[in-house]
Amino acid sequence: MVTLKTTTFYLYYLSSLGASVNYTYQHSENEVEEIGTTGRFFKPLPQPYTPKHSANVTLFWERDGIQLRLANRYNDTQLVNDGGADGATWQDATNRLDFSSSYQVTKNIAITFQGLNLTDDTRRVFFTTNGATDATDGNNQTVVLEEGNVLEDSSITTSRTAAEFKTGRQFRVGIRGTF
């Protein structure tokens, strides 16, 4: 009989547990463009801000005025700007974990807590060349440097950092009132 009460106890609290899961696969390409009038063409790049893989997972628990949420958001490497003849900028893959909670103190007052970017994710943007020229060829011929699509070719260098953003972990405490 103790086991039944324990099971009932756990089922009572587990009945408030939920999850939301989303995965998206996207494949996109720009139209092929000629490099000036050279008869050479840029390799097609994806549409900006369309990562090939993205996913969201949220776990939540709600009962007796208490709400807890843990959310993870993942975005694969994605094109930021195709940049035309100079090159393209890309954003590295990001993985961010957030936590939020609230406690309903009274009918009109709630206390909230948020922990944002718990993974301390850094957003880095890097540059790849696209149609740049290099006249230092041993045969004194112009060489067109085109690295192409980093999503399709893992040998392309991603080491040219153009910008880096680090917001750090953020924690917020609040009181919410309803009137």
- Give tens-digit pLDDT for 85-139: 578 889 999 999 999 999 999 999 999 999 999 999 999 999 887 655 555 556 6
What pLDDT shows up at residue 73? 96
Question: What is the CB neighbour count within 10 angstroms for residue 161?
Answer: 11
Q: Measured between alpha carbons, how far is 132 from 87 in angstroms, rounded to an integer? A: 7
Instruction: Note the pTM of the prediction, 2 decimals.
Output: 0.76
What pLDDT shows up at residue 149? 78
29 and 41 Cβ atoms separated by less than 8 Å: no
Work out the average pLDDT over 74-89: 85
Q: Measured between alpha carbons, how far is 168 from 102 in angstroms, rounded to an integer? A: 22
pLDDT above 70 covers a percentage of the chain that reads 81
Structural domain boundaries in the chain:
18-177
Question: What is the CB neighbour count within 10 angstroms for residue 56?
Answer: 14
